[in-house]
Structure 1
């Protein structure tokens, strides 16, 4: 039997170690109600963590501070929900929450947030055929130094079958994202809007601890004397901040005066990395506000303005930032662009002319934190406190805990950020990423230089994917907060 606390004094830090005997956070429930059965550890952890941190805590009746009068009521409530995953998704989440998630193994959750996962390195979108439940996939890019990079599969390839079975809405999850580490894709040809199976097969194997460098392409193009930096950036990973800064050092050294920031497949990641990238684009003026956080009332009311505000950065933490000091940036973004990608666009908007080419983005403007069953640390995951996490409960949750607004106060883009120039990817002409003739990049170059070409930008077969390989990983399109919060009276 273990003591159950309804709410906990919040510790001082997200993702970084910190301890304090008195951190100044008021406990809304000063009298803990008692004990629960050990079998309900996961459910009790989830309720307590969500009661304290969840952005919509006040809008979920079962998360109210006064919901339970005593231990018995609370234990009876938990006993009615034996499946922790169902309890989280069906009982605790607010109806408008599209993005909170969890993992039965918090270590896997943490690894995925760091860009480490089991993967074959094939990144793709899935599209429905115009009739029926059959679907097909198209290759968006190949992760370098992965299993897929050793095969003949490439960007633009179409596949319809896995192990000889036609992909459908009902079977694609099991075939592509199940426990089978090795599978064989059946490829197809595409011409004039028609997809036809061919005999080519590609065998792929998922590798443990596959790490993806989010910088797929970084180069400076010389277009009739105009130096245009091009960055294909596929996830906001703090472990690659120095490599990102080095890429901008090269842009500066090569005399780039324009930037095409390609985030068409970027589902998000670290909030702090988004701040660093924005600083590399615009400015290292640490007096200018990048974003301001909004938390639930329990947390918001106990934070000062200084704690809620993030300014443009002058260093990565260890290295001076290399900035292009631009007053405009061309962003390639699609419906696969989410969270931290959208945050960069919104955070730059008050200062920079953000010219968005592509499609309306996904519309994820909330951030999350990683919570585990470490009650003395207010459930906040801390790598230095592994021994303090309840050994009988390995669940980790990644709930939405706040929203970011830009310096103008704008944050409401749940419907996505609409493009200035609408241009979809064409399945019959995806082009090579980083090549000046690739359609989205070619359109940006045309806008930058003002030089029109004889080529058109008509799309024969739009790449309208309903999901992608990145959205089927434990990380999904998460935007996580990784900043220090020092709570003081």
Structure 2
């Protein structure tokens, strides 16, 4: 448990300061009037293989911010005058201290890179897995103000469309995966399954750089107020035209909460859970309270497009599924960092609400369903904190039945780190469940007959774009309902040419110019920031 358990740890924030030296030590007096010379400063130098502490370069910025930080209680920005070189040197030392595979980073001269971002891009391993994929595919940065806007409010710029890439190079197939509630796209009448044909008179199959740039900007990079024209084909074959104006979209991470009664009278709770972001907490609590009131027998959580996010929220959901009887005296996740970091205590099952504006626990106990089994709908877009949920529950012998596709395979995480108006994400840790298992870098695999550690009992099926999410006739949900009644997988006829959709723009391996979507806050990422325990005296 979190509130009273020694497993709960505070987040320790390391702050660097200046050390002041006084004259004439020991507090003795002197009649000599000694004037210290003014301090001299010089640009640091790079020496291959020699790393100064990252704290020596922290917040030394080429363009220091002035004024107060609205995301830090209006405290003054910590920035001081520096240079691009000092920013690079901070990245270099910070990566050497915290990167999971720090010994696989090539220590290149920072002056050989034209920008801070170009230097950061190569501060990672370029080793490959046995399957030929790069071991690190999750290394990126973004403006800090964008990070806080999305992290604290769930607000992003766009139309409210979450895309699925069936094919990312010509002939492209880009379809609507789901829509944010009350968004420009939803209000215009777009639906799940709609296929993009043309944007601003540019065919989706263009293979010129100019055409691809237009598509990327209109589809993935609009700012609030931008207007673009779309032609789409609906599932029934009808072509439709829309003019969409981008806005600041508040994400709806929990959708389609419903209780379904099967033919034999079993009550099944269903919810679509899209992202482990902080604003999901009250929505998840509301869903669990509804399921408790409805007295459900089984639970189906649709994680097919949930790319991850806050491990704390994943832990809270695991607790709400399993309840105190099944989680007491167990931990949720054991963090494993590089050999330069001290071993940390395990991550607990969090049983209380968290104030995510401060990352402090409250005294409010979470509701729970006390279930020993849960159904999870998955695709290769099910990543990170979503995979941790599956693995964490399996670690305490909660039965997980996986319906859909193999998950993405990202047993890694990070703590977002801010420096000079940029937030950096680099792989800093991996982890294991209570049973010590955490190696699923090739994904968790649904199968009727599990044989390997990464196998999960279930049914392997393709995503179904011909039905809306939450429709009991949609392939994955229908299969879960069938399995609940029959304890077996349905016989489903699927096209041998069917492709698994992905919400990532990096899925294609065919020749051609690929589209490139912007990276959102928790797309295929896991944030392991720990909440502080509840304060003494908080009400329960």
How far apart in 2 are the matches of 1:139 and 1:250? 29
How far apart in 1 are the matches of 2:371 and 2:472? 21
Aligned position for 2:456: none
Instruction: Using structure 1 for the length normalisation, give the TM-score.
Output: 0.78
How far apart in 2 are the matches of 1:200 and 1:434? 24
- Check whether the contact 1:268–1:337 (CA below 8 A) recurs between aligned residues: yes
Q: How does 1:27-426 map to 2 (within 5 A)?
A: 38-62=83-107, 77-95=109-127, 96-103=135-142, 105-114=143-152, 115-128=154-167, 133-168=170-205, 171=212, 172-179=215-222, 181-188=226-233, 199-208=239-248, 210-223=249-262, 224-284=264-324, 285-299=327-341, 302-303=342-343, 307-316=344-353, 317-318=361-362, 319-350=364-395, 351-373=397-419, 393-420=420-447, 421-426=459-464
Aligned position for 1:382: none
1:462 to 495, 498, 501: 498
How far apart in 1 are the matches of 2:55 and 2:217? 44
The 1:269/1:41 distance shift into structure 2, 3 A limit, reads same
Between the two proteins, the alignment pairs up a number of residues equal to 419
How far apart in 2 are the matches of 1:100 and 1:272? 21
Larger helix percent = 1
The 1:484/1:32 distance shift into structure 2, 3 A limit, reads closer
- Check whether the contact 1:368–1:402 (CA below 8 A) recurs between aligned residues: yes
- Give secondary structure in 1 for the equivalent of 2:392: helix
Structure 1: gaps spanning 5 or more residues: 1-11, 22-27, 64-76, 374-392
The 1:326/1:54 distance shift into structure 2, 3 A limit, reads same
Within the alignment, does 1:483 sit opposite 2:530 as a pair?
yes
- Check whether the contact 1:113–1:269 (CA below 8 A) recurs between aligned residues: no
The 1:445/1:33 distance shift into structure 2, 3 A limit, reads closer
1:300-334 CA distances to partner (integer Å, 9 max, x unpaired)?
A: xx24xxx4302223222332121111111111000
CA RMSD in angstroms, aligned pairs only: 3.1
The 1:160/1:136 distance shift into structure 2, 3 A limit, reads farther
- Check whether the contact 2:53–2:93 (CA below 8 A) recurs between aligned residues: no
The 1:220/1:20 distance shift into structure 2, 3 A limit, reads farther
Aligned position for 2:468: 432
- Give secondary structure in 2 for the equivalent of 1:133: coil
- Larger Rg computed on CA atoms: 2
1:43-79 CA distances to partner (integer Å, 9 max, x unpaired)?
A: 122112212221111332429xxxxxxxxxxxxx222
Aligned position for 1:68: none
Aligned position for 1:445: 481
The 1:239/1:40 distance shift into structure 2, 3 A limit, reads same
